[in-house]
Structures are given as C-alpha cells and as structure tokens.
Amino acid sequence: MAELKGNRFGTHRVLEPKGVLPQPALRIDNDLSKEYDNEILCDVITLNVDSASFTQIKDEAGRDPEKIKEIMFSIVDRFGKHKNPVTGSGGMFIGVVRRIGSALQGKIDLKVGDRIASLVSLSLTPLRIDEIKQIHIDIDQVDIKGQAILFESGIWAKLPEDMDDKLALAVLDVAGAPAQTANLVKPGMRVLIIGASGKSGLLCAYVAKKYAGVTGQVIGTASSESGEKFLAEVPFLDASFRCNATDAVGMYEQTAALTDGKMADLVISCVSRPDCEMGAILPCRDGGTVYYFSMATSFTKAALGAEGVGMDVTMLIGNGYTKDHAKISLEYVRESQYIRDIYKQRYIG
C-alpha cells in the first residue's frame, strides 16, 4: 500500500467532527492498516491509564476485571482511542516501534525495534486493542496486545536501560508534575501536597523539599489511615495530616494549624477524584499558587469557587508536558533511593 500524506497534528485521522484536533475529536480513525508518511506505528505492550480515568472505570465496574475489560474495549470501539467519556482523560503506553513513516526517517532519533513510552495522552492516540492480557488494578496499568499511532507532533521517550519498564512507565506517566514542581518551588516556600502518598504526589513532595530547602516547609496529606501512616515515615516531609480532599474547611483548618496561620505559598493537588477544587484553594495564602495536577479537576468549579470565597490565587492547569520532563523526572528517581524503593515495591512487586 502506498503511503498517504499525513497532517503534522494528526487531523487526517479525525472522523468526527471534521476540522478539530485528535484530542477533542469525538471519533478518530484507528484503522492501522492505513500507512501515513508522518506516523510512528507501535506494537503496544502496556497501557498506563490516567488515574482519574481508571478510578472512574474501576468504580463503574465494581473492580471486576472482566467488566473493566468490557469498558475499555467499548471506549476504543466507540472512539478509536482510549478517551474516557466521563473524565475526558486517557493515559499513555509503552511499546516497540514497528514502522516509521518515510517523512520522519532520518529526522528523529528512533528506529524500528526501539522500546519507547508515549508522552502524549491516549485521549488523542489512535489505538487498537486485540487482547487485554492482564489488569494490574491497583497501579492503573493494563497489559495488552495491540497497536497505536504516534503523530509527527507527538512526544515520546526511549525506555531507559537502567530501569524496569513498569517502573519507567509509572514515572513517565506523571513526569510533568515533578518537573513543573521544580519550576514553581523557591527556597523557603511553604508547600502543601494534596494526595502526597500517590504516584505523582510522592515525587512532587520529594522535589518540593529539594527546592524549598531547610527554610521551607513541605506538608503532605492523605485521605486514608494507611496513607496517613505512610506519610508519617516519609523522610522529606516536614509534616503530614489525614483529610479528605473534598473537605475544604478541614484542609484549611489543619493547614492553618501547621503553618501558624500563614497558609501555603503553593498547593499542589494530585488527587484523582472530583470535587476537590476548593480543598486546594482554601489552604493557599492570598496571592499564592494552586497547581492542579489531576484530570478530575473542574476548572469551572475552581474559578467560580475561588471567586466565591474571595481568594486571589493563581491557578495552574496540570499540563502533562514540561520541557525535558521525562529526563528530569527519571533523574529524580535515580537520585532518590527512597523513591526508587517505594516505586519498585508498588509497580514491579
């Protein structure tokens, strides 16, 4: 089959509605027998489903693996990509390069057979799932047999040789959060990490302490008893407490108690459930910054909620991409034996 000419941003794969980009599109073409000159075709090994998306799928399925499979197959069959219709989010994949379009050959540092991780969302990635082999229900990872397409504008990272694939995938899935945290935290800052016991939260806490230094204060929260016990032992947290992220007043009161009423200069929300917007806004000081790294966030609720309580805070969308975020975040994991051990325990077993 002769190669077809593709659009840099992948609009040639959009079926409905025409004229939009692949991410907001309702349906995209996942007929991977079609060969475009600027696409990278990969054999997919594992999907790392976005935390907000997988939490919603697990809740809908009652954590039944067979029902989870049904939901995932249904999403891809309907939309040509794994874009959760409830959360709007996707995830990422690891796989092996099978084909590189002629327009990209010699222009990118990639060859057939390379093992890579996609650094763009599954919510815009043409995907075919032939078989779901295994569901790792507690770490949001699903082993499959299938294929996916990366567009010319898509970003990816070669899997590191000094790290297990599952570990690298877990880190790369949240790479934007710690890299952005490094940009935001200054020496002496008071930083509140909501959901600090999770995958992104723990890395953000490590980076926050690294840059806030001995004069700064890094506080972590968890919603469960086990999470609270875990955070009490984390060496780079100055304090921690247990509070449901939807309890905005509780968040405010406990943060006030730990900061002598000064509140947090920066709040980073890493929770994967809805209705946690105000739980991040109230603990922030007037003139501070709230960074939402969760696809469950409603920015309408955040904006109107801040207005409703008279809070003048800067609110940042958790862009999953920050310049060199993959290299930066992998290096943090290499740097911290503690993080590496925790991640290995959770994501490799």
31-36-42-47 Cα dihedral, nearest 10 degrees: -50
Q: Does the pLDDT value for residue 284 go beyond 70?
A: yes
Split into its structural domains, the chain has a count of 2
110 lies in the same domain as 244: no
Helix/strand/coil (H/E/C) assignment for every residue in 243-259 = CCCCCHHHHHHHHHHHC
209 lies in the same domain as 140: no
Q: Is position 223 within any domain?
A: yes
DSSP 10: S
From CA 42, how far away is CA 114, in angstroms rounded?
9
Short-list 130, 145, 147, 175, CA closest to 40: 147
Q: Is position 260 within any domain?
A: yes
CATH number where 337 lies: 3.40.50.720
78 lies in the same domain as 149: yes
Short-list 323, 231, 229, 218, CA closest to 268: 218
200 lies in the same domain as 303: yes
Tokens of 134: 């295994």
Of 159, 189, 213, which residue sits at a domain end? 159
Single-letter residue type at 217:
Q
Give whole-number Cα distances, 199 to 31, 151, 177, 234, in Å: 34, 27, 10, 14
- The predicted pLDDT at position 349 comes to 67
134 lies in the same domain as 240: no
Q: Is position 126 within any domain?
A: yes
From CA 245, how far away is CA 196, in angstroms rounded?
11
From CA 259, how far away is CA 267, in angstroms rounded?
13
154 lies in the same domain as 202: no
Q: What percent of the chain has pLDDT over 70?
A: 99
The position carrying tokens 């790479």 is 175
Query: pLDDT tens digit string along 167-209?
Result: 898 888 888 899 999 999 999 999 999 999 998 999 999 999 9
Query: pLDDT tens digit string along 21-57?
Result: 999 999 999 999 999 999 999 999 999 999 889 999 9
Cα torsion angle, 253, 257, 258, 263, sign: positive
Helix/strand/coil (H/E/C) assignment for every residue in 40-102 = EEEEEEEEEECHHHHHHHHHHHCCCHHHHHHHHHHHHHHHCCCCCCCCCCCEEEEEEEEEECC
Short-list 290, 277, 281, 289, CA closest to 310: 281
180 lies in the same domain as 152: no
225 lies in the same domain as 275: yes
DSSP 14: E
- Is the N-terminal amide bond of 17 cis, ω within 30° of 0? yes
282 lies in the same domain as 206: yes
- The predicted pLDDT at position 266 comes to 98
Neighbouring CB atoms inside 10 A of 226's CB total: 10
Query: pLDDT tens digit string along 90-144?
Result: 999 999 999 999 999 989 999 999 999 999 999 999 999 999 999 999 989 999 9
The pLDDT confidence band at residue 322, using thresholds 50, 70 and 90, is confident
Q: Is position 6 within any domain?
A: no
Average pLDDT over residues 49-66: 94
Query: pLDDT tens digit string along 215-237?
Result: 999 999 999 999 999 999 999 99
Give the structural domain span for 314: 176-347
From CA 144, how far away is CA 139, in angstroms rounded?
15
53 lies in the same domain as 197: no
Q: Is position 166 within any domain?
A: no
The whole-angstrom distance between residue 161's C-alpha and the CA centroid of its chain comes to: 22
155 lies in the same domain as 180: no
Q: Is position 326 within any domain?
A: yes
237 lies in the same domain as 289: yes
Q: Is position 340 within any domain?
A: yes
Of 95, 129, 159, which residue sits at a domain end? 159
Average pLDDT over residues 302-315: 93
Neighbouring CB atoms inside 10 A of 134's CB total: 11
From CA 21, how far away is CA 9, in angstroms rounded?
7
In what helix (H) or strand (E) does residue 191 lie, and over which residues does it extend? strand 190-194
Q: Is position 3 within any domain?
A: no
